[in-house]
Amino acid sequence: MSPAKPEPGRIGPSNVARAFDEHARSYDRLVGANRGYHEHLRMTARRMGLRDRGAGLRLLDLGCGTGASTQALLDAAPEAEIIGVDASSEMLSIARAKTWPPGVSFVHARVDDLASAGITGLYDGILAAYLLRNLSEPNAALRSFYALLKPGAPLAVHEYSVADSARSKAIWSAVCWGVIIPMGKLRSGSADLYKYLWRSVLDFDGVEAFTTRMHATGFVDVKVQTFPGWQQHIVHTFLGRRAPEPDTPPLGLNLKKKAEPRDD
Ligand SMILES: C[S@@+](CC[C@H](N)C(=O)[O-])C[C@H]1O[C@@H](n2cnc3c(N)ncnc32)[C@H](O)[C@@H]1O
């Protein structure tokens, strides 16, 4: 992955949220035309294995955009408290305008700086859908997500990852140049964000590299699943858990052995 600085006028991690501001009004129509988009988000949210319809759980949807991933999380855990976070005020205003139960709220913040927006731990689960590829410091982001999770709680990263497969890269480029880029330009008047999408996916980690990053951060039970449709081996759920706290040893078991009284 090469989180290089964008050239002037080019979209990159430092200005991608601003680019989403400009495309916010056409975003829902475009993703709605992408068959499988919403169902795949729901599958990722279900893969998190959230218990009891989310009753009593606090969840984060990082890079929530217009709320598509927030809705998926809500479908999997309708009784949870869910906080959606995004750096684009326009994407958030579309999310906020939708109808949500009282447990859902939204915060305008960069995920690189969650603490200053009052997002501090601990949470019962984090979903980050189509976000990681946009960050300049993915390792730092993974570390901060890890620190926000309760021991044993899941992180689901829902993301494009094609670098390990020539076939996936070819299908991705064909879908982008045949459908996404022309349709994006038609609907929003500019192809810039969609060309960035194409390029950022090609630059992002392959499945192996990203799972290695997760392991290196400390995540356990890391597994990767894909989806049916053209997205197969192109879009993935990367699931991992914060390591559970080591079992507390029975009282006294880890005390240093007392010196035996000597007979002499
Ligand atoms: C492709 S959209 C995904 C939206 C939503 N998760 C979904 O599945 O439809 C990516 C979102 O990430 C946000 N984003 C990008 N970089 C960010 C950052 N550093 N902090 C917070 N949000 C960011 C963008 O503003 C955008 O709304």
Residue pLDDT, tens place only, 22-69: 999 999 999 998 999 999 999 999 999 999 999 999 999 999 999 999
Nearest residue (by CA) to ligand 1, atom 9, is: 68
Average pLDDT of the chain to the nearest whole number: 91
Residues 253-264, mean pLDDT to the nearest whole number? 48
Nearest to 159 by CA among 195, 211, 107, 119: 211
Q: What number does the ligand 1 atom closest to the CA of 61 have?
A: 6
Measured CA distances, 67 to 11, 26, 72, 118, 195 (Å) = 22, 14, 9, 20, 23
> How far, in Å, is the centroid of ligand 1 from the Cα of 252?
49
- pLDDT one-digit tens code per residue, 231-249: 999 999 999 999 998 765 6
pLDDT band at 259 (very low <50, low <70, confident <90, very high): very low
Q: Please choose from 75, 86, 201 the residue to mutate so as to test ligand 1's pocket, defined by most ligand atoms within 8 A of CB.
A: 86
127 Cα to the center of ligand 1, angstroms: 12
Structure confidence at residue 60 (pLDDT): 98
- CA–centroid distance, residue 198 to ligand 1 (Å): 15
Distance 47 CA to ligand 1 centre (A): 21
Selected residue with higher pLDDT from 158 and 33: 158
